[in-house]
Each structure stands twice: as C-alpha cells, then as structure tokens.
Amino acid sequence: MVKKIILFIFFSGYCLSASAQKENIWKQLEAVKFSTVNTEDGFPMDVPTFGPEVKALEGKTIRLKGYIIPLKELQGQNYFVFSRYPFNLCYFCGAAGPETIIEVNSAEEIPFTEDLIELEGRFELNASDPDHMMYLLNEARQLNP
C-alpha cells in the first residue's frame, strides 16, 4: 500500500511539473545572454548565447500562449511574430526583451486576433541569421481556435 501511495505521489508530481513547464515555456526562453561582436563590415551586432534550458527545447514540439503581432495585413496569415505580451507591451514597443517573441511559420493561416491564443510547433534556435528572430516556431498550428 505504501509503495502505491509513493508511486501515486511521484507520478502526480511528475505530471504537474510537466504540465506547468508547458504552461510557462516563456520562462525557459529567458535563459539567454547576449554579447556584442563586430560583423565583417565592422558594425556591432548582438549575438545570443542560449542556456541549457533553451538548448534542450531545440527541435522539439512546444506550446506557447501569447499574442499575434502582425507583420503584414490584419487578415489570416502564415508568418508573424508571436509575443508573450499584448501588442502594447511587446518587444517592439520597448517594454520587453527579445526573449519574449518568437517568429512563427505555419502551414495553415492563423486568423489575426488581439486575444490570447495557444500555438504548437517545432522550436528552432537562430544565433547567426540577423534576418530572423532568435527563436523560431515552425510548422505551427493554433490549438483550440
């Protein structure tokens, strides 16, 4: 009986921590530091160094709750920035850091909304291409539209 109780407690704790991790994946994405390097043209550029918490997510399917920051028109779209915070508090408005946004590519169009939504997709890191964000969510899809 004691073994069953211990197993139940262990399994319950494991499930709770796993679901909590999915609920607040943005917190894990904070494990990044920046250093300034000079480009070939001599211009300074901030380059991310990802912590082990972030590196462990690369290539995995993750879920994030957040807000769409449109890059084009306000219709449905396949390519946009997804933010931990609403538009008025997002990175582009100066109220948050670059670890609070992720570049999204989806096969299906995801309709624009100002409401909190949840996405799922394959997480990728980018430390070298300045034309893209440092975090990428590929093959994304909206959960519970």
**Strand ranges for 52-116 from DSSP E:** 61-69, 77-83, 101-110
CB atoms within 10 A of CB 79: 14
The pLDDT of residue 76 is 57
pLDDT over 70 at 103, yes or no: yes
> Residue 9 — pLDDT band, cuts 50, 70, 90?
very low
- On average, the pLDDT of the chain sits at 80
Kindly state the DSSP code that residue 139 receives in the 8-state scheme. E
pLDDT cut 70: percent of the chain above it: 74
Q: What's the mean pLDDT in 42-60?
A: 94
pLDDT band at 90 (very low <50, low <70, confident <90, very high): low
Residue 47 pairs in a beta bridge with: 35
pLDDT value, residue 89: 63
pLDDT score, position 84: 92
Compare 49 and 69 and report the one with higher pLDDT: 49
What DSSP letter does each residue of 61-73 carry, written as one string? EEEEEEEEE-SS-
Closest CA to 84 of 39, 135, 122, 124: 135
Tens of pLDDT along 130-145? 889 999 999 999 998 6
- CATH code for the structural domain at 24-143: 2.40.50
Lowest mean pLDDT among 15-19, 23-27, 116-120: 15-19
